[in-house]
Structure 1
Amino acid sequence: MEIAVQPVAKQDPAQRVKNWDEAFLGYDLETAITEAERCIHCPTAPCQEACPVSNDIPGALALLEEGDIIGAANVFRETSDLPEMCGRLCPQESLCEGACVVGFAIRTAELGRQPPVSIGKLESFITDSQRRTEGFPVPDLPEPTGRTVAIVGSGPAGLAVAEQLTRRGHSCTVFEAWPQPGGVLLYGIPNFKMRKEILQDKLAFLRSLGVQFICNTRIGDDVTIDDLFRQGYHAAFVGTGAGIGGHMRIPGEDLQGVYQATEFLVRGNLEPDNLPEQMREPLSIGRHVLVVGGGDTSMDCVRTAVRLNAEAVTCMYRRTEHEQKGRVEERRHASEEGVQFQYLTTPVRFVGENGRVTTAECVRMRLGDPDDSGRRRPEPVPGSEFAVPADTVVLAIGYSADDLLEETTPGLHTDKRSHLIRVKEDYSTSRRGVFAGGDNVNGADLVVTALADGRRAAEAIHDYLQRL
C-alpha cells in the first residue's frame, strides 16, 4: 500500500505573527499512525545511525503503528533525555530524516518521489502525548552512593549529566549563572519554536528525582571550580556552552539599539523576572529592524522582531542563500511571516543620532577564492555602497566560549584561541575529577550533540566515582 506523506498542521502565517505559540500544531493520533506506517523498517536503520543519540526510530514507530504511544515514548527515552525538545529543535533534514531511505531511494508509480518519514514531528507527538497523560516515567533510583557532583551549566549537556548520574544514585547540584535554569533551552529558544512548559516540566521532573539547582551563580566569578572541590564535591562537569556573541568590529557597533542576538532574544521572549537586572528594561525596537547573519539564530531574531511589531524586518547575509547555514524550514517560516532577505550584503558602519543607531551603511559582496575551510570568501564589490534605515540592529554572527573558567581554573587545558576546553575520549579534562562536554568543547553546535556529550560524559563520571 502506498501512503502519501501526512502534512503537519500549522498556524497560518497571518495568525501566528500575532502570537508566540509554536508554528506547528502537531499531529493527531490517526494522522501520526498513518505517517508512522510510511516507515519501511530498514534492517540497517540508517536513520538511527544518523541520530547523535542513536534513537531506535524504527522500533518506536513500530509501536506507534500498533497504537502503543507509551511504549514508543519509552523507546525514545532509552537513549534521549530530551526527546520532546529534540523533536522540535533538531535539524532532522541533515540527521535522521536526511538518512531516511523513504526520502531518497523510494519512488512509486502512484506517488512518485516522496519526502522522508516525518521523524521529528512524530517524536514530538509521541513524547508530548506521554508527558501530558502520564508524565515522565519515574525510575527506581538505587541507594545513594554518597558521591556528589557539581554540574556547571543547565543547558542540554548539563541536564543530561544530572539525570543520568541521579539515576545511578549520585547527588547532583546544577549551577546556573542566569536567574533561571535551562541554559540555551530557556534563554536561546523562542516560544514559537518550543513552548516553555516543555522545559519547565522537565526541570520539575529532575527536581522530583533530587536534582538541585542553584541559579545566579557564575562559576569562575562567584565561586571557582577549586572552591567546589573544597566544598566537598567529588567531581565536576562543565557544560557552559558557547554563549559569547560575535562582533563585527565596525564603526558604530557600540551605539544604543545594536544588540547581540542573545540579549535581543531573551529581552524579546522572556518575562523580566527571568532576566538579569541589567536586561529587564523593555525593548524599544522602532520601525526598521536589521538582523545580520544567516543561521538559525538569525531566524529566531527576525521572527521575534516580527512579533514585536516591527514594520520592516530584514535579514542581511554576506553569502548566498545556497551557502546559508541553518534549517530551510526556519527560513521558509521567516519568509512567510514577511521577513525580507538581502544576500551578498554586509554592513560596514552603523550611524546614529543622539547615541542611538538610525542607519546601516552597507556594501554588496561577491564570492571570491575559497578560504581555509573550502568556502568561497566574500569580498566587497567596489562602488556598491548603500544605506538602509535601521532603528534596531541584531548581530547573530556566531558564538564562542567564555574564557572565565580558563582564567580561574589552574591547570585546565584549553585552546588559547577559541577557549574551548580540551578533553580526552572519556570527556575528562586535564584536571582530575573535572569533565566537560557540549559547546564549550565542540564550539557552537546542536542541542542534540550537547545532549549526546552529556550522556557519554555521565557514564565516564560514574566510572570515575566508582573508583574513588
Structure 2
Amino acid sequence: MQPSRDSLRGTKIVVVENAPIARDPDPDRATVIHRMRLDVGREWGEEYHAGQFVMLRVDARGERIPLTVADYDPDDGILTLVYQVVGATTRALAVVPAGGALEDVTFPLGRGIDLSPPDPRRDIAIVVGGGIGVVPAHAKAKALDAAGYRVVSLMGSRTAPLLILLDAMRKVSDACYVTTDDGSYEGPGAAFVGAEMAGPESRALRVTNVLEQVVAHGRDDTAPHMPHFRNLYPADQVAKIYLSGPDPMMAAATEVTRGMGIPTYASLNSVMVDGSGMCGGCKVTLRSPDGERPAYTCTDGPVFDAHQLDWEEVRTRGSQYRWQESLAQASKTETSGADAEFLAATARRFGLAEDATAAELSDAMESQFRHAAGYMKFEDAIEACDRCVCKIAEGRVRFCTQGCPLGILVQLFTQPLKPDALIERLWPDGVDDGVNPRDLLEGVVRRAETDPESCEPAQLEAVDQAIFQAYEALSDHNPIPEITGLVCPQERQCEDPLAGCIRARKGQQVEVGSVEAFIARWIRANRDRMEAYPWFHEHPVGDPTGKRVMVIGTGPAGLVAAAELVIEGHEVVMYETLHEPGGVLVYGIPEFRLPNEIVEYEIARIMSLGVTIEVNRPIADAREHMQRHGFDAAFVATGAGTAKFLGVPGENLTGVYTANEFLVRVNFMKAYRFPEYTTPVPDVIGKRVAVFGGGNVAMDSARCALRLGADSVTVMYRRSEAEIPSRLEEHVAAQREGVQFQYLVTPYELMGEDGQLVGVGYYDNTLGEPDEDGRRRPVAVTEHPREAPAEVAIVAIGQDPNPLLDLSAYDLDRTGRIIVDDETLETSMAGVYAGGDAVAGTGGTVIFAAGCGLMAARAIHARLSA
C-alpha cells in the first residue's frame, strides 16, 4: 500500500505552450530562451502578487528549481514562465511538449512587491531588466502600471536577438529604453552615445549607463555621454527603482543609485532546494544603520533593498553548486569530461572502477543509506512482551503510558504477544503430556517469520490474528506506529527507568519501540496475506458529520490529527508545500534511520481512510484560506523548518551548510544518488567535516557526511558528553560508524580563503550555572582561541517556525512561536489550532508532535460536535 502520485492533488501540471522565443545567432553560445504556459487553475488569483516565483520539478528524478513568474491570468488560470536554457533541468524542461505535464509546480512563493498607491509628487517607478531579468522586470512593470505609477523601463541584453518581452514591456511603460552590449539593437527606444546612432559602437551600452543618465540627481552635466537621455527624470519624482538581472549588473546599478536617495530593490535568483525557508541555502545578509540581520530569498524576498545587500556575499553563495551543475549536464552513463575527477573520487571511495557509470555510482551510494538498525525478531518481541508485568486495570494509568505523549497503553499491545496468550490461541485444547508448549511455540514462531508457507494454515492465521490484535490496540492511539517505533526516544519516555517502565529499574525494561516497530512491520510486510482473512479490517470510520477541517503540514502532527479527525467522520484536507507529503519524516530523517517506504505506507493507509492530501500548496494565511474554502476549523502543523545560524563570521563561505539544506538535499531530493537524481550532492568526498550541535539532527548530518565519503567528521558540541541531547542510540551509532566528538567547545569564526571554508576557530568551554532548562550553561574561555582545519561545516543547532506561515495574526511568545491554549492547542484565532514544533520549538520529537496532533484533533472534534 503505497500512495501513487495520482492519489495526491497538486501534481502533473499540464503544459499549454512551450516554445523558444529568442535564440542567439552565435553558434558558440547557442543561448535559447523559452516561454512556457501552464494550466495551474484559477484559484490563485487573490494569492499571487508580482515579484513572486515558482519552484518546479520536471520529472520524478529532477531537482527543484526556482523560476520567476512572468505573468498569471486568474481568469483562465494560465501561468506564464520565461526561462533560459542553461543547465540540465532547463534542458529537460525545454523538451516537454505542449499537452505534456510537469511533475510538480509549487506556486506562489516569496513576497510580492509593494503596490501601495503612489504619491502624486513622486509617482515614477523605474524598472531595470537585464538579460533573462526582463522577465521579473515585466511582471513588476505591469503591476506598477496598474497601481498608478508612471513606469520607466530600461531593458538590456547582450545582443538584439535575445531581447525578450519588448512589446509587452512597452504596453505597460510610459517610456522604454533599450540597450545591447554589442550595439545591435537600433529600434524604438534604443539608447546611444553622442548626437546620433552612428553605428554599433555608439549603441554598445548597458542598462546601468542609461540608468545613470536618465535620473537627474545633481551631478555634473557637462559630460558628453548620451545627451539626449540626460536628466529626464528628477530624482525627487522617482518613487523607487527595481533591478532584475545578472548579479554583477544589479550590483553595479546599486552603486549608481546609492547616492541618489531613491529606494532601490533587487530581485535575487538564489540557489535553493525547497523554496519554503527550510534549507537556508538562499540566506543573505541585510545591513542597515540598525545593524545586520539574516534573510531568505525564498520567504523574505526575492526582492530586497539593494542598498542593504552584501553583493560580494551574493556572488560567492551563487557559486556554491556551479561545478555540480556542470556535472549534472554530462552524460548519465559516462563519467568523462572536466568533472570526471569528482566521479572518479566517488568511485574510489566505494571500491568501484574509476570509469564506473553514473548508475553504478548511484547504486553504491544508495547501499550506504539502506536501513541500518534492523528489526526485532519475533521470538525477541515475545520475550519483551513477557517482561511487561503491568496488568490491564480499569481507571489505572501506568507509568509507561504517562511517559508517552500519545498515551499509548503498552500493556494492551503486549498482552496478545505474551507466550501464554499465544499458546492458548494456538492450542486451545492444550498439548500432549510431556510436551513443553513453549518449545512448540518457538517452532511455530520461527516458521511463521522465516518460512510461512511451511506453517499449518490455522497456526499461521492464529499468529497473524494475535499480531493484528496487538496492532489494533497500538494503532487506536497511534496512527503511525512503525514510524514512532523506529525514531522516538523511548529511553527517555516509556522505557525511562524513573518515569516509564517499572522493569527498567532493574535493567529489564520492555523494548517498547522495538516491539511497536515489529508489530507494525509484520502487518505491512504480510498485508497481502492478511487481507484475505475475514477478521482483517481497517480502522472503522464514523458517519459523515458534514464538517470540514484543513490541516497545514503533513508531518507527524498533521498526519495524526488528520487520521483522528477523519475517523470521527469529518472531511479532512491536508496541504503540503513540498512535492511529497511526510514533512520532517521524509526531508529530515535519513533512510538508514527511517526508510521512505515506511512513511509512504503510513500515509497511504491514512489516505485510505478518506483524507485528501494536496501537495505543492503553500498556505500562508490559515484563517483566510479556511474562510474562503468553507472549512470549519484549521490545524497548523507546519513544523519548525527554518534553520538557526551560529551568528559568527564566515557562515556564508562556500562549504558551509545548514543541516536543513544538507539533509533536504541528501534525503528528500536523493542527492546521494547524484547524478542519477539531478539535485547536486554536497561535496564532502575526501574532506574534513565539522558538525555543530548535539541533537539527533547533528547525528543524522554527521552520519550522512560519512556515507557520502567524507575523510573525517567531527561533531563539535558546547556541553559535555553527559548532556548531549541526541538519542543514546543515535549517539552510539555515530561513534560506532567513525564520527569523532569534541565536547565543551564554542566556535567563534568560520575561517576562509578565497571564499572557501578552510577551518574553524573555537574556544574551549567550562560549564557554569544552570540555565532555564536546568542544564549547566557553557562559558567560553576566550583567552585561549584554538583552530581546527575543515573544508565543510554543517550547522545543526536548531530551527525556528516555518517562515512561509504568516504569523502576524497570531499571539506569539518572545521566541516567535505561536501561543496556544495548554489544553486544546487553540490559537488566538477562534477555530485555528496549532501544534508540533511550530508551537513547541526545536526540542520536540516525532512522538511529541504526534501527541500534539492527537490533542488538537480531540479539541477540534469537541468543538465541531458541540
TM-score range, shorter chain: 0.7 to 0.9
Cross-structure match for 2:555 = 155
Distance 1:56 1:369 in 2: 39
Which of 375, 388, 392 is the aligned partner of 2:788? 388
Cross-structure match for 1:196 = 596
Q: Deviation per CA, 1:41-82, whole angstroms, max 9, x where unpaired?
A: 357632122222121212211211234111111111111111
Cross-structure match for 1:459 = 858
The answer to whether the 8 A contact 1:53-1:448 is kept is yes
Distance 2:412 2:707 in 1: 39
Which of 20, 39, 53 is the aligned partner of 2:406? 53
2:380 maps to 1:27? no
Cross-structure match for 2:695 = 295
Map 1:95-114; keep pairs closer than 5 Å: 95-98=493-496, 99-104=500-505, 106=506, 114=507
Cross-structure match for 1:309 = 709
Map 1:112-131; keep pairs closer than 5 Å: 114-131=507-524
Cross-structure match for 2:389 = 40
Cross-structure match for 1:11 = none
Distance 1:139 1:369 in 2: 51
The answer to whether the 8 A contact 1:406-1:413 is kept is no
Cross-structure match for 1:262 = 660
Task: Name the SS for the 2:758 alignment partner.
Answer: strand
Cross-structure match for 1:3 = none
Bigger relative contact order, structure 1 or 2 (CA pairs below 8 A, ≥6 apart): 1
Map 1:40-439; keep pairs closer than 5 Å: 40-41=389-390, 45-65=398-418, 66-67=421-422, 68-98=466-496, 99-104=500-505, 106=506, 114-134=507-527, 137-220=537-620, 225-271=623-669, 280-286=679-685, 287-408=687-808, 410=809, 412-423=810-821, 425-439=823-837
The answer to whether the 8 A contact 1:51-1:95 is kept is yes
Distance 1:288 1:377 in 2: 29
Cross-structure match for 1:10 = none
Q: CA deviation at 1:16?
A: 12
Q: Give the residue type in structure 1 aligned to 2:642.
A: I
153-162 vs 432-441, which moves further: 432-441
Task: Name the SS for the 2:763 alignment partner.
Answer: strand
Q: CA deviation at 1:17?
A: 11
CA change 1:46–1:422 in 2 (3 A) is closer
Q: CA deviation at 1:282?
A: 2.2
Q: Percent identity at matched positions?
A: 37
The answer to whether the 8 A contact 1:242-1:400 is kept is yes
Q: Deviation per CA, 1:307-344, whole angstroms, max 9, x where unpaired?
A: 11111000000111111112111111000000000001
The answer to whether the 8 A contact 1:295-1:326 is kept is yes
CA change 1:17–1:359 in 2 (3 A) is farther
Structure of higher CA gyration radius? 2
Q: Deviation per CA, 1:65-102, whole angstroms, max 9, x where unpaired?
A: 23411111111111111111111111111111112222
The answer to whether the 8 A contact 1:151-1:175 is kept is yes
Q: CA deviation at 1:148?
A: 1.5
The answer to whether the 8 A contact 1:87-1:121 is kept is yes
Task: Name the SS for the 1:360 alignment partner.
Answer: strand
Q: Deviation per CA, 1:235-288, whole angstroms, max 9, x where unpaired?
A: 1110111122211110001112211111111212233599xxxx9322212411
Distance 1:341 1:361 in 2: 16
Cross-structure match for 2:112 = none
Q: Give the residue type in structure 2 aligned to 1:121.
A: S
CA change 1:169–1:330 in 2 (3 A) is same
Distance 1:285 1:433 in 2: 47
Distance 1:371 1:39 in 2: 37
398-407 vs 290-299, which moves further: 398-407
The answer to whether the 8 A contact 1:423-1:441 is kept is no
Q: How many pairs does the alignment contain?
A: 437
Distance 1:171 1:74 in 2: 23
Task: Name the SS for the 2:735 alignment partner.
Answer: helix
128-137 vs 163-172, which moves further: 128-137
Cross-structure match for 2:136 = none
Q: CA deviation at 1:144?
A: 2.5
195-204 vs 208-217, which moves further: 208-217
Distance 1:119 1:51 in 2: 11
TM-score, structure 1 normalization = 0.88
Q: Give the residue type in structure 2 aligned to 1:175.
A: Y
Q: CA deviation at 1:133?
A: 1.6
Distance 2:764 2:366 in 1: 30
Q: Give the residue type in structure 2 aligned to 1:103.
A: A
Distance 1:91 1:42 in 2: 24
41-50 vs 292-301, which moves further: 41-50
Distance 2:671 2:635 in 1: 28
Task: Name the SS for the 1:341 alignment partner.
Answer: strand
CA change 1:368–1:46 in 2 (3 A) is closer
The answer to whether the 8 A contact 2:588-2:668 is kept is no
Distance 1:232 1:393 in 2: 47
Consecutive unaligned residues in structure 2, runs of 5 or more: 1-363, 423-465, 673-677
Distance 2:595 2:793 in 1: 26
Distance 2:593 2:369 in 1: 9
